[in-house]
Structure 1
Amino acid sequence: MRRQILMASAALALLSASPAFSQQVTSSEAESLQQKLTRYLPKEMVDAGLVTVRAATSFYELRFDPAILLDKAKAGPMTIDGLKPMTAYLRPMPEGTYHVEANDSFDIKGTVDAAPGKNTFSYVIDSMKLDGIYDPEILYFTSADWAARRLTFTSTSPQESVTASFGETAMRVAAEKKAEGLLDVTSTGVMKAFAETVTGGQGGRVDIGADTVDIDVSMDGARYKVVQDLTFFVLDHLKAERLEAADAERLKGLLRDALPVFDNLTENIRASNVTVGTEKGTFGADAITYDIAMNGIAHSTRLGFGVGVEKPKPPAGILPAAFAEAVPERASFKVAVTDLDLAGAVDYFVDHADFTRAQPLTDEQSREIGRIVLPDGKMTVEFEDVSAVSPIYDVHLTGKMLVYPDDKDRHSAAVTITMRDFDKTVAYLQKNAATVPEFGQASFVLLMMKGLARDGGGGAQVWDVAVGEDGKVLINGQPLPFQQ
Structure 2
Amino acid sequence: MRKQILMASAALALVSASPALAQEISPSEAESIQQRLTRYLPQDMIDAGLITVKAATSFYELRFDPKVLLDKTKSGMVKLEGLKPMTAYLRPSADGTYRIEANDSFDIKGDVDLPEGRNSFSYVIDSMKLDGVYDPEILYFTSADWVTRKIAFSSTSPKDSVTASFGETAMHVSAEKKDASTLDISSTGVMKAFAETITSDQSGRVEIGADKLDIDVSMDGARYKVMQDLVFLVLDNLHKQRLEASEAARLKELLRAALPVFDNLTETIRASNVTVGTDKGTFGAEAVDYNVAMNGIAHSTRFGFGFGVEKPKPPAGLLPAAYEGLLPERATFRMAVADLDLAGAVKYLADHADFTKPKLLTDEEEKEIGRIVLPGGAMTLEFEDVSAASPIYDVHLTGKMTVYPDDKERHSADVTITMRDFDKTVTYLQKNAGAVPEFAQASFGLLMMKGLARDAGNGAQAWDLTVGEDGKVLINGRPLPFQQ
TM-score when normalising by structure 1: 0.98
- 1:19 and 1:231 mapped to 2: Cα distance? 22
Once the two structures are superposed, the pairs formed by residues 1-400 of structure 1 within 5 Å of their partners are 1=1, 3-16=2-15, 18-20=17-19, 21-400=21-400
For 1:5 and 1:267, locate their aligned partners in 2 and report how far apart those are by CA, in whole Å.
21
Q: Which amino acid aligns with 2:11?
A: L
The whole-number CA distance in structure 1 between the counterparts of 2:380 and 2:206 is 37
User: Aligned partners of 1:75 and 1:130: how far apart in 2?
Assistant: 33
CA distance in 1, matches of 2:444, 2:236: 70
Cα deviation code 1:420-459 (max 9, x no counterpart): 0000000001111111111111101100000000000000
Corresponding letter in the other structure for 2:13? L
Greater CA drift, 356-365 or 99-108: 356-365
Post-superposition Cα deviations, 1:178-218, rounded to whole Å, max 9, x if no partner, equal 11210000000000000000111322111100001000000
C-alpha distance after superposition, 1:94-119 (max 9, x if no partner): 10000000001110111111121111
Partner of 1:453: 453
1:231 partner letter: V
* Distance across 2 between alignment mates of 1:115 and 1:452: 64
CA contact (8 A) 1:270 1:288 kept: yes
* Separation of aligned partners in 2, 1:17 and 1:407: 55
Identity of aligned residues (%): 73
Q: Cα deviations across residues 8-40 of structure 1 (Å, max 9, x unaligned)?
A: 332123333744443110111111111111111
Conservation of the 8 A alpha-carbon contact between 2:16 and 2:96: no
Residues of 2 paired with 1:472 and 1:115: CA distance?
58
Mapped to 1, the partners of 2:14 and 2:200 lie a distance apart of 48
Q: Find the aligned partners of 2:352 and 2:126 in 1 and give their Cα distance.
A: 53
Q: Contact conserved, 1:4 with 1:130, CA < 8 A, in 2? A: no
The amino acid of 1:439's aligned partner reads F
Aligned equivalents of 1:378 and 1:214: distance in 2?
A: 36
- C-alpha deviation, 1:156, in angstroms: 0.7
| Correspondence for 1:432 | 432
TM-score, structure 2 length as denominator? 0.98
**Distance in 2 between the 1:278 and 1:433 partners?**
31
Q: Provide the rounded CA distance (Å) in 1 between the counterparts of 2:340 and 2:404.
A: 13
Q: Structure 1: how far apart are the matches of 2:52 and 2:381? A: 51
Judged with a 3 Å threshold, the aligned counterparts in structure 2 of structure 1 residues 272 and 119 are, in CA distance, closer, same or farther, namely same
- Please give the alpha-carbon distance, in whole angstroms, between the structure 1 residues aligned to 2:68 and 2:269: 36
Separation in structure 2 between the aligned mates of residue 202 and residue 386 of structure 1, nearest angstrom: 33
Whichever residue aligns with residue 145 of structure 1, its letter is D
Question: How far does residue 381 in structure 1 lie from its aligned partner after superposition?
Answer: 0.4
- In the alignment, the residues of structure 2 paired with residue 382 and residue 173 of structure 1 have an alpha-carbon distance, to the nearest angstrom, of 32
Q: Quick check: 1:9–1:139 contact (8 Å CA) kept in 2?
A: no
CA drift at 1:79 = 1.6
SS of the residue corresponding to residue 16 of structure 1 reads coil
Q: Per-residue displacement from partner, 1:229-251 (whole Å, max 9, x unpaired)?
A: 11110000011111111111111
List structure 1 runs of 4+ shifted beyond 4 angstroms. Answer: none
For residues 88 and 415 of structure 1, what CA distance do their matches in structure 2 show?
Answer: 55
CA distances 1:443-479 after superposition (whole Å, capped 9, x unpaired): 0110000000000000000000011112211100111
1:138 positional shift: 0.5
Letter in 2 for 1:49: G
Between the aligned partners of 2:414 and 2:203, the Cα distance in structure 1 is: 39
Write the distance in 2 (CA, Å) between the matches of 1:340 and 1:302.
Answer: 7
Distance across 2 between alignment mates of 1:320 and 1:160: 34
Specify the code of the residue in structure 2 equivalent to 1:25.
Answer: I
Q: Hey, what's the Cα distance between the residues in 2 that align with 1:280 and 1:16?
A: 56
Q: CA RMSD in A?
A: 1.1
Structure-2 change in CA distance of 1:75 and 1:390 (3 Å): farther
How far off its partner does 1:158 sit?
A: 1.2
Conserved 8 A contact 1:9-1:141: no
SS of alignment partner, residue 171 of structure 2: strand
Distance 1:368 1:5 in 2: 43
Q: Any conservation in 2 of the 1:77–1:112 contact (CA below 8 Å)?
A: yes
Deviation track 1:402-426 (CA, whole Å, cap 9, x = no partner) reads 1111111111111000000000000
Asked if the contact 1:199–1:206 (Cα under 8 Å) also holds between the matched residues in 2, the reply is yes
Q: Which residue type is aligned with residue 14 of structure 2?
A: L
* 1:397-436 mapped onto 2 (5 Å cutoff): 397-436=397-436
The alpha-carbon deviation at position 5 of structure 1 amounts to: 4.8
How many residue pairs are counted as aligned between the two chains? 483
How far, CA to CA, are the matches of 1:368 and 1:78 in structure 2? 45
How far apart are residue 75 of structure 1 and its match? 4.5
Is the 8 Å Cα contact of residues 312 and 329 (structure 2) preserved in structure 1?
Answer: yes
For structure 2, the residue ranges without an aligned partner over 5 or more in a row are: none
Matched residue SS, 1:179: coil
The one-letter code of the counterpart of 1:14 is A
